[in-house]
Structure 1
Amino acid sequence: MTETFAALLFAHVMADFVLQPDRMAQNKRHPLMLLAHGLVVLAVLLAVFGRLDIPLLYALALAHLALDAAKLLLPPGLRAFLGDQAAHLATLLITAVVAPALWSAAPWAGMALLPAAMAAAAGFVLATRAGGFAVGLLMAPWTDVALPPGLPGGGRLIGLLERALIFLLVLVAQPAGIGFLIAAKSVLRFETAKNEGPVGEYVIIGTLASFGWGIACAYATRGLMVALGAPLPAL
């Protein structure tokens, strides 16, 4: 069951956060865009499992499409994003429970470390790219805060890099390095963070949210990889 879940999770993350361009994500209210995303989901599922004759994969793609359509009825924001992803993860888990041997039907099921590799890839994308969406939606109500001038997209790239480093530190069993990362960012952001007004609060909230998301994704991924028998160093 764990191998099946890892493969399903990898397919979901690839379809939602890697192979879904911003134009498609922002225009899902158009039926053709929504349908195009559903076809991408189905194509990725079929590619991951290497089979065209598994009805459950078609049903899962339809469920994904239905959840995305339901999300359109909700006010856009962090709650809708987290609720949508939680619902998708629930469908993946239910599928893995109903058909635990689904992965064994894949032509490359004999590659023992492949499920762990897919879990690592999925976790990395969730920590970095999905984390960027989550933190961005969290901070959206305060976008009118007058931040000091900086590089275009610099803050977004910093967040992505810090979550990537956190993810890698946890996977190689060096979580203490996160403390040094926090210290380094505190020094670099000192002039901004010491501001007692909204700018300082904005930076602190965004930093804590980014670090928290990265840590949560890293430990969840590590737990899944250990369950899959990945040869990770002990914490």
Structure 2
Amino acid sequence: MIQTFAALLFAHVLADFVLQTGWMVTNKRAPAAMLTHIAVVFVTAAATIGTLHPILLGLAGAHLLIDTLKTFSGRRGLMPFLADQAAHLASLVALAWYAPDLWDSGLWPGLAAAPACLALLAGLILATRAGGFAVGFLMEPWAPDMPVGLLGAGRAIGMLERGLVFILVMTGQTGAIGFLIAAKSVLRFGAVGDDRKISEYVIVGTLASFGWGIVTAILTLSLLTHLPPLGIPDLSP
């Protein structure tokens, strides 16, 4: 079951946070955009598992239902985002429980380390890409009052710092996270200065970003303990 879940989790985050284009997100109320996204969900799951098992159509249908409810609810923000992802996660768990041998029926069961690799990649995508959306939604109410910087620079910085935090936790170098925070504080000091509003914005965003990266890495490590080892000492169960 756990191999099936790891593969489905990777397929989900790949379809939702890497392969879902801005056009799909912006036009999701239109059938063409929604169905294109659902097609990507199905193809990604089928390729990851290595089978065209009909049950994957059920997964695509569940994804369609969840996305439709979210889209037409008109709600936006951190809590709707987390609720949406929790619903998708529940559907993955349900499918893995219902068809625990789905991974073994596909093309890749001979690759013993594949599920762990997929879990690791899923964790990295969740830490960087999904974390960007989560932190962005959290900071959205205060963003209009902040000065404008380089286009896309804040997003890139956030992805890099969460990626580094994820790697540090996964490799057992958690002590280095403190140095990373200190380095960011020093670099930000000149720009923030005595402006309390900007200081608080930076502190909240930084803590949220680092916290997301740490929690995602811990959950990934927990998942890896139930999978065949990767052969990398610090990442092995």
Distance 1:199 1:74 in 2: 30
Q: Which amino acid is 2:63 matched to?
A: H
Counterpart in the other structure of 1:111: 111
- Secondary structure of the 1:29 match is coil
Distance 1:199 1:206 in 2: 10
1:233 equivalent in alignment to 2:234: yes
Q: Which amino acid is 1:12 matched to?
A: H
Q: How does 1:11-22 map to 2 (within 5 A)?
A: 11-22=11-22
Distance 2:194 2:76 in 1: 30
Distance 1:64 1:77 in 2: 19
Q: 1:205 to 1:38 in 2, by over 3 A?
A: same
- Secondary structure of the 2:140 match is helix
How many angstroms does 1:48 deviate by? 1.2
Q: Which amino acid is 1:48 matched to?
A: T
Counterpart in the other structure of 1:49: 49
Distance 1:201 1:79 in 2: 21
Distance 2:146 2:139 in 1: 13
Does the CA contact (< 8 Å) of 2:24 and 2:37 recur in 1? yes
Distance 2:84 2:149 in 1: 33
Distance 1:206 1:79 in 2: 16
Gaps in structure 2 of 5+ consecutive residues: none
- Secondary structure of the 2:139 match is helix
Q: How does 1:45-124 map to 2 (within 5 A)?
A: 45-52=45-52, 54-72=53-71, 73-124=73-124
How many angstroms does 1:223 deviate by? 1.3
Does the CA contact (< 8 Å) of 2:4 and 2:49 recur in 1? no
Cα root mean square deviation, aligned: 1.5
Percent of residue pairs identical:
53
| 1:62-108 superposed Cα distances (whole Å, 9 cap, x missing partner) | 10011000101141111111110000001101111111111111111
| 1:176-208 superposed Cα distances (whole Å, 9 cap, x missing partner) | 111111111111112345535211111111101
Distance 2:235 2:69 in 1: 42
Counterpart in the other structure of 1:197: 196
Q: Which amino acid is 1:65 matched to?
A: L
Does the CA contact (< 8 Å) of 1:192 and 1:203 recur in 2? no
**TM-score by structure 2 length?**
0.94
Does the CA contact (< 8 Å) of 1:193 and 1:204 recur in 2? no
Counterpart in the other structure of 1:137: 137
How many angstroms does 1:146 deviate by? 3.0
Q: Which amino acid is 2:165 matched to?
A: I
Distance 1:99 1:234 in 2: 27
Distance 2:115 2:84 in 1: 24
